[in-house]
């Protein structure tokens, strides 16, 4: 029987002071590092292959013949503390990683954790940014990603794999779209708004935990759960709650490294719109009506760390006899504006770009919604008519992964998990691309920030479900 091997590496990717911080439709520039951000690379292989190389011997001062791991049969899964890397950026980084490490381009899976306190990697047209700092960071990140994969390939060790599905605790996550009593739909309505009627949707509280026990090396834990990493609301760099979760877990159990893979989080946030008891401890209400602070990130991270701790020792170990990767491109129609909608869209975008949001007759999350909608309409005014979205499938023994290049609604993940033939399926948002929101068809009729800003027509979520399930089945 073939032997699974797993390698791991973690590299620091902190940016320079003053870089634009991505996550909102308002400009922010980094004033410092609240918590370090990282790229975590996990490399998988099934056969032990080595190639000859030259290695320096410091005792003799000579280069001698040696062996190193061959990356040609490896799969690299990289989790980056970033709000999101576009499909074009991911393709460029994956090509660079392939050229420098030998891991096949199609076997490189690049995932963003979706922290809203991470650096920009490309210039944003919502506000003027320091082009030099952004471009320098984008180049720096590419080099660090190559380093991470190189080190992980060198770290390959024989491993066994176990899995378990836990349940997230209460007060951690909430559906953030609400039907209001006046019949409207709103994303992130004001706290304690008497017009709130009920949330639109049902949380998926499953927490997928995959554990790799390696010979004479750290154990690697993959944690998969769908929730916005948007608890802090500062201008300081931070991985947000996923960083708290990983640090807390690694402090509890020695010789373990924890890697976060965000799930279908498009309509899921951490704000309770009717807070009670101690819900407001160590937190504040932000400009967009949400409960945010470093204390909020700490709470969410610690709570979800508790879920991993509950199942860590009780994973079910399974045989791994196959490692497969596959990509499927989905073509979806663009959500272009009607001609009569464009004059107002251009007006709102021009006001926003000029820093005059005070002249747009909305506030808080409603302001963010109309600005995002206007930006979407203006960008798509001259096309394209269709978009191509890459879905990524990975099979490690009986465990399946389905990567989606953007922010899928929670129901997408719920349906993908129903695909037969797997013991556990991990849906992953923001994988090999960050191409916007994928709301369910009903959301386009109901409204709300995600649907009104989406670049895609209604039906995109249902198409991702169908093609995602087909992809997973092809991997069997």
Segment holding 178, helix H or strand E: strand 177-180
Which one, of 425, 207, 167, 161, lies nearest residue 315 by Cα? 161
The pLDDT of residue 69 is 80
SS3 386: strand
The pLDDT of residue 234 is 86
Which of 68-77, 144-153, 289-298 has the lowest average pLDDT?
68-77
Residue 363 CA neighbour count, 13 Å, CB half: 4
- φ/ψ (deg, to 5) at 45: -150, 155
Task: Read off the pLDDT band of 75 (50, 70, 90).
Answer: very high
Q: From the CB of residue 295, how many other CB atoms can be counted at a distance below 10 Å?
A: 16
End-to-end CA gap in the chain: 18
Domain limits of the chain? Answer: 5-327+386-475, 337-379
In tens, the pLDDT along 180-193 reads 999 999 999 999 99
Q: What is the largest CA-CA distance in the chain?
A: 81
In tens, the pLDDT along 200-240 reads 999 999 999 999 999 999 999 999 999 999 999 889 999 99
Higher pLDDT, 269 or 65: 269
Q: From the CB of residue 79, how many other CB atoms can be counted at a distance below 10 Å?
A: 28
Radius of gyration of the chain (CA): 22
Cα–Cα distance, 40 to 145 (Å, whole number): 9
Between the alpha carbon of residue 452 and those of residues 203, 236, 281, 379, 423, the distances in Å are: 21, 29, 33, 14, 36
Which of 27-31, 161-165, 419-423 has the lowest average pLDDT?
27-31
In tens, the pLDDT along 118-168 reads 999 998 655 566 788 999 999 999 999 999 999 999 999 999 999 999 999
**Pair 148, 9: CB distance under 8 Å:** yes
Q: What is the pTM of this model?
A: 0.94
Label residue 295 left, alpha or beta by phi (over 0 means left) and psi (-120 to 50 means alpha): alpha
**Pair 377, 343: CB distance under 8 Å:** no
What average pLDDT does the segment 341-356 reach? 94
- The answer on pLDDT for 66 being more than 90 is no
Higher pLDDT, 50 or 109: 109
What average pLDDT does the segment 26-50 reach? 92
What average pLDDT does the segment 401-416 reach? 98
Which one, of 121, 126, 100, lies nearest residue 13 by Cα? 121
**What string of DSSP letters covers 199-264?**
ESS----EEEEEEEEETTS-EEEEEEE---B----SSEE---HHHHHHHHHHHHSTTEEEEEEE-S
Cα–Cα distance, 307 to 220 (Å, whole number): 16
SS3 192: coil
What does pLDDT average to over the chain?
94
Segment holding 451, helix H or strand E: helix 449-453
Cα–Cα distance, 310 to 23 (Å, whole number): 32
**What string of DSSP letters covers 269-300?**
ES--SS--TTTTTT-EE-TTS-EESHHHHHHH
């Amino acid at each position: 029987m073939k032997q699974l091997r797993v390698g791991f590496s973690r590299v620091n990717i902190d940016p320079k002071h003053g870089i634009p911080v991505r996550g909102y439709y308002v400009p922010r520039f980094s004033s410092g590092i609240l918590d370090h951000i990282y790229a975590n690379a996990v490399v998988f292989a099934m056969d032990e292959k080595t190639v000859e190389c030259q290695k320096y011997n410091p005792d003799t001062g000579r280069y001698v013949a040696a062996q190193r791991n061959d990356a040609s049969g490896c799969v690299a899964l990289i989790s980056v503390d970033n709000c999101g890397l576009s499909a074009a950026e991911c393709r460029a980084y994956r090509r660079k990683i392939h050229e420098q490490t030998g891991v096949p381009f199609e076997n490189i899976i690049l995932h963003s954790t979706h922290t809203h306190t991470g650096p920009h990697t490309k210039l944003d047209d919502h506000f003027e940014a320091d082009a030099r700092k952004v471009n320098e960071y984008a180049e720096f990140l590419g080099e660090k990603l190559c380093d991470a994969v190189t080190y992980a390939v060198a770290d390959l060790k024989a491993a066994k794999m176990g899995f378990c599905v836990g349940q997230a605790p209460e007060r951690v996550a909430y559906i953030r779209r609400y039907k209001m009593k006046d019949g409207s739909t709103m994303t992130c309505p004001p706290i304690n708004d008497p017009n709130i009627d009920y949330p639109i949707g049902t949380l998926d509280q499953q927490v997928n935990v995959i554990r790799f026990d390696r010979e004479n090396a750290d154990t690697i834990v993959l944690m998969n759960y769908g929730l916005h990493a948007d608890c802090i609301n500062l201008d300081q760099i931070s991985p947000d709650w996923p960083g708290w979760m990983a640090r807390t877990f690694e402090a509890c159990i020695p010789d373990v490294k924890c890697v976060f893979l965000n799930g279908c989080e498009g309509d899921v946030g951490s704000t309770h719109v009717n807070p009670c008891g101690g819900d407001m401890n160590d937190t504040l209400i932000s400009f967009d009506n949400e409960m945010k602070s470093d204390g909020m990130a700490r709470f969410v991270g610690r709570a979800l760390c508790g879920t991993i701790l509950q199942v860590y020792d009780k994973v079910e170990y399974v045989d791994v006899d196959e490692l497969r990767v596959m990509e499927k491109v989905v073509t979806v129609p663009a959500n272009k504006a009607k001609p009569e909608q464009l004059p107002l869209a251009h007006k709102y975008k021009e006001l926003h770009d000029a820093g005059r949001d005070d002249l747009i007759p909305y506030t808080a999350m409603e302001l963010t919604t109309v600005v995002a909608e206007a930006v979407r309409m203006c960008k798509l005014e001259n096309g394209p008519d269709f978009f191509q979205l890459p879905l990524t499938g990975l099979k490690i023994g009986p465990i399946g992964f389905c990567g989606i290049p953007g922010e899928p609604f929670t129901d997408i993940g719920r349906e993908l998990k129903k695909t037969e033939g797997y013991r556990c399926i991990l849906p992953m948002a923001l994988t090999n691309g960050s191409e916007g929101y994928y709301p369910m068809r009903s959301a386009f009729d109901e409204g709300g920030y995600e649907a009104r800003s989406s670049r895609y027509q209604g039906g995109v979520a249902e198409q991702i479900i169908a093609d995602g399930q087909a992809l997973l089945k092809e991997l069997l």
